[in-house]
Each structure stands twice: as structure tokens, then as C-alpha cells.
Amino acid sequence: MSNITVCARFRPLSSRERRDYGDSICIQRIDDETFSLKDEKEGDFKFTFDRVFYETSEQVDVYTFLARPIVRDAMKGINGTIITYGQTGAGKTYSMEGVNILDCDEQKKGLLSRVIDGFFEDISSSGESIKYTIKLSMVEIYMGKVRDLFDLSKDNIQIKESKSEGILLYGVTKIPLLDPAEALQKLSHGLDNRAVGETQMNMGSSRSHSLYIFTIQQEMNKDIRGKYGKLILVDLAGSEKLEKTGAEGRAFEEAKTINKSLSALGNVVCALTCGPTGRGNHIPYRDSKLTRILQDALGGNSRTALLCCCSPSPSNAAETLSTLRFGARAKHIKASPNIESNEDKHAKVLIAPSPTEDDSRDRTLDKVRVQLHAEEVNWLQELSIVQTTLSHPNPAEDSDSDSEGVMICTIVSARHAMEELATGVEQLKHSTKELRRTIEVAERLVAHENAVNAAQHVCFLEKMLNRLMRLVAWFGP
Ligand SMILES: Nc1ncnc2c1ncn2[C@@H]1O[C@H](COP(=O)(O)OP(=O)(O)OP(=O)(O)O)[C@@H](O)[C@H]1O
């Protein structure tokens, strides 16, 4: 069990900070891991993190240290999460996206572009025996709702928990990525749909938490099981002191919602690191959409890295101190990424669910995974989640937002899935007929010569037929 990786990053002073405070800064470098911070009111503090990126550090340094190992692991089927955290205007989006996702010189490219490059680098060096499929979903949590940035009609996506996939966003759009250039176009399209506003600290401030979810599906040759990895990049909205920024109206409501979800995140980190260990310790993941989505990243099967973005200006020393304290506390969180779980089933959820119908469904899925292609397994998993939704349409975590919209969205998605189910069952029936015909041919062979070979053939085909019939029966009429 390892701790999550926590780094601090200080951006250069902004022109406004220079104008008001000259060149003075509130931090003093000690080495690559340690620095001291001076706050006029609270005094001097020394912080040590896995790595500190000072004002002159480059984007590539952040990627290489913080993200590259996680990208590599995601390609091997180990889940990963990279989070940027900090006050508004502290450099979270700069670290994540760079200056401009499509038109950015090499030096300024942010984590997102570099992560995509990393995926495709690993694919090209992996040889032909493994086939990878990478898909991207983009959502934002805005005013307490999860919106699909690739399909704005999905403006209140539900969060579900499946034993096989862990925490998932039900019905979210997943776009396949075929090459880096195309992937950046897709990203740029999603980014254009985000909620952006203006704060006193930042002209183009993110007013929502943005999540970039990459799923990496491996298909190996017939004898080896493929793996499934998930890498989530999270660009959190910035916290701000309402009295300091003087936000009003909508901006005030947005800031309040952002601060509330960040407090919920703080509470989860606190419960994970301060409370008693063991089952008795309640972790309040369900207090916000943000913490619910990050449940796997914070308390489960994921390699997680946190980049604490800070201003070095004395005018923001209090906010910087608060960001660094959050990072220091998060450093104590233990993570236990597990590759095995992503071979047999998708992400593992550490909170042990009570034995339910999910268990038998997962066992069935495990069995069929050995025989079917990855696409088909994904399709079956989607169906199993639909089944859960239909049997338990209103789980506790979503009860705070059980508006009509959610119900309508669920019904429409369920109908769509039922249509897919019907098509799937038809396909299975068709395959069953084909197999029957082949068995008849094989039986005729048995009647003639070559009896031993043909009998084996029949035996194998009969097994396949039984399996298909069980699947048909399992999915209903
Ligand atoms: N390391 C850096 N080097 C150069 N400029 C930076 C750096 N970090 C941030 N900046 C600049 O500082 C400004 C604010 O940064 P950014 O938008 O990334 O803040 P943020 O933390 O995402 O804020 P918000 O939470 O309000 O969205 C931008 O103009 C950005 O280009």
C-alpha cells in the first residue's frame, strides 16, 4: 500500500501581484522537495512534498514526474487519477491544459496533451500482439450537476456504483481516440462547452470541476485476457474567499457551490486520514458529486497524484497555506492500486458491497469474458448496469437530485438499452441457430468415418450452444 503522490507547484507572480507587492514572494526554496512559507498572520511553516515545482519549472517536468508513471500504469490496467487543486488563478488549468489545447508551443503543452501523447507512444512501442482501444469522456460538475461536455443534452448524469466497474457515470458519452491530433480536436470541442467565468484573480476562471476520463481497453491474443485501465484527470474549480473577491449574484452562487464541494473533498480527505481505521470509519463520499466520483481515486483502487497549485505572492499567503495544508493531509492517504482486479473485472471497489445479484452477474461476466471479445463484454456490462438501474432506479446517493429530469433521462436511457438488449438477444438466437446447423453437419460426419474427430467437434459445439442458451435465458425472453 503506497501513499498518493502529492506535489506543489508555484506559478510566476502575476502582473497584478507584481504591481501591488513588487517582486516579494512568501516562499523560500530549500530543495526540490522542501520549502518554507511565511504568512504574516500565522507565521512560518515548512512543507515537504514528493516534489516541488517552483516558478521556473517547465510543464514537461510536471508531466514527467507526476503523470508519466501513472499513464504507463493505466496502459497496463492500473487505474489512475491526477488532480489539480488550489485557489482560483493559481495555475490548475494552465497545468492541465497549457495555454491553448490546440495551438500551444511544445514547451507550454499541459498535462492533457502530454498524457494523450504518452498513450500513443506506449501503443506504438507495444508491438502488434496487443490491441488498444482508448476512449475519452468529458464531464463537468457545475452547480452540483454532472454535465456531459460531449453531449450537452445530458445535463444531469447519474453516478452509479457497479461491482465490476467501480464508480461510473451512467450513460456518459465515450469517444474513441484514434490518434493524438484527432484526440486534441475532440478535447478542444469538449473544452468549448465548459462553464467559464471571471474572478478577480482570473479572467478565464473555471466555474466548474472538469473531469477527463480516459478508458484504455487492451485486447491480447486469444489465450491471454485483456486488461482495462481508467485514467481520470481532474481540474478542480478554484476556491475563493467570498469576502475577498466580492462575488455577487450568479458568481456568488457558483463560488458557494464550488466552496461547498471543496469542503466536502476536505472532509473526505480528513476522514480518510484522521479517523479510526477499519470498517467503523464513515467516509462521507456521498456528501457531494465530486467526492462520490473521486471515491475510487481517494479510497480505492487507483494510483493517485495531486498537484497543489499556488500563488507565491504574499497577498495570497493565507490561501496558499490552506492549499498546502490540504496537500499535506492528502499525503497520508493510502492507495492500493490492483492490476489483478482489472484483469478479471473492471475497477475494484474497496467498500465491500453486500453479496447481491451483482455477484452472480459478475461471475457470469467473468466466465463469458474468457470466450467473448472485449466489445461484447463491454456490451454485456452496460446491460448489467441497465438491469441494476431498472431494479433500483433511485439509489440513495442520487436522492438529493431526484428531479423529474433524472427520471426522464433514466427512462429514455433504459428504453434505449432495452432496444439494444432486444437486438443482442436476436443476435444470440441467430448464433444459436447457426450452431445447431453446424452440429447437425458434424453429427452426419460422426455417422460416417472420422468418428473421433467429429465427436470432439460435436462436444465442443454443444458446450458453446449451452453457453449461448444460458446467456439468452439470462437476458430474458
Ligand atoms: N506555471 C505558470 N507559468 C506561467 N503562467 C501561468 C502558470 N500558471 C498559471 N499561469 C497563468 O496564470 C493565470 C491563471 O492560471 P489558471 O487559469 O491556470 O488558474 P486556475 O487555477 O485554473 O484558476 P481557476 O480556478 O479560476 O480556473 C493564467 O493566465 C495562466 O496562464
ipTM metric: 0.98
- In sequence order, which residues have a C-beta less than 8 Å from that of residue 117 and are 6 or more positions away? 180
Q: Same domain, yes or no, for 424 and 318? A: no
Q: Is the residue at 348 inside a domain?
A: no
Q: Is the residue at 349 inside a domain?
A: no
Whether the pTM exceeds 0.80: the reply is no
Q: Is the residue at 159 inside a domain?
A: yes
Q: Same domain, yes or no, for 263 and 149? A: yes
Q: Is the residue at 191 inside a domain?
A: yes
Report residue 229 CA to chain centroid gap.
10
Q: Is the pLDDT of residue 299 over 80?
A: no
Atom of ligand 1 nearest to the CA of 59: 1
Q: How many other CB atoms are found less than 10 A from the CB of residue 265?
A: 23
Q: What is the mean pLDDT of residues 357-364?
A: 47
Q: Is the residue at 146 inside a domain?
A: yes
Q: What is the pLDDT of residue 347?
A: 34
Q: Same domain, yes or no, for 300 and 380? A: no
Q: Is the residue at 347 inside a domain?
A: no
Q: Same domain, yes or no, for 118 and 140? A: yes
Q: Same domain, yes or no, for 82 and 113? A: yes
Q: How many other CB atoms are found less than 10 A from the CB of residue 356?
A: 13
- In sequence order, which residues have a C-beta less than 8 Å from that of residue 343 and are 6 or more positions away? 77, 225, 227
Mutate to test the pocket of ligand 1, among 18, 198, 202 (most ligand atoms within 8 A of CB): 202
Q: What is the pLDDT of residue 131?
A: 87
Q: Same domain, yes or no, for 334 and 361? A: no
Q: Same domain, yes or no, for 159 and 241? A: yes
Report d(CA 377, CA 367) in Å as an integer: 10
Domain of residue 405: give its range: 354-475
Q: Same domain, yes or no, for 236 and 365? A: no
294 lines ligand 1 (CB under 6 A): no
Q: Is the pLDDT of residue 295 over 60?
A: yes
Report d(CA 319, CA 307) in Å as an integer: 15
- In sequence order, which residues have a C-beta less than 8 Å from that of residue 70 and are 6 or more positions away? 80, 81, 82, 231, 303, 305
Distance 391 CA to ligand 1 centre (A): 46
User: What element of type H or E holds 141?
Assistant: strand 131-142
At 436, the pLDDT band (50, 70, 90 cuts) reads confident
Q: Is the pLDDT of residue 384 over 80?
A: no
Report d(CA 307, CA 176) in Å as an integer: 27
Report d(CA 288, CA 142) in Å as an integer: 12
Q: What is the mean pLDDT of residues 194-209?
A: 69
Distance 358 CA to ligand 1 centre (A): 44
Q: Is the residue at 346 inside a domain?
A: no
Q: Same domain, yes or no, for 359 and 463? A: yes
Give the CATH number, domain containing residue 268. Answer: 3.40.850.10
Q: What is the pLDDT of residue 159?
A: 93
91 lines ligand 1 (CB under 6 A): yes
Report d(CA 95, CA 309) in Å as an integer: 9
Q: Is 318 annotated as a binding residue?
A: no
Q: Is the residue at 269 inside a domain?
A: yes
Q: Is the pLDDT of residue 404 over 50?
A: no
Q: Same domain, yes or no, for 337 and 381? A: no
199 lines ligand 1 (CB under 6 A): yes
Q: Is the pLDDT of residue 397 over 60?
A: no
Q: What is the mean pLDDT of residues 261-267?
A: 87
Atom of ligand 1 nearest to the CA of 11: 1
Q: Domain end: 306, 341, 376, which one?
A: 341
Q: Domain end: 313, 341, 369, which one?
A: 341
Q: Same domain, yes or no, for 361 and 333? A: no
Better pLDDT: 103 or 271: 271
Q: What is the pLDDT of residue 197?
A: 62
289 by Cβ neighbours in 10 Å (0-12 / 13-18 / 19+) ranks as buried
Q: How many domains does the chain have?
A: 2
Distance 246 CA to ligand 1 centre (A): 20
311 lines ligand 1 (CB under 6 A): no
Q: What is the mean pLDDT of residues 292-303?
A: 83
Better pLDDT: 451 or 363: 451
Q: Domain end: 292, 312, 341, which one?
A: 341
Q: Same domain, yes or no, for 221 and 308? A: yes
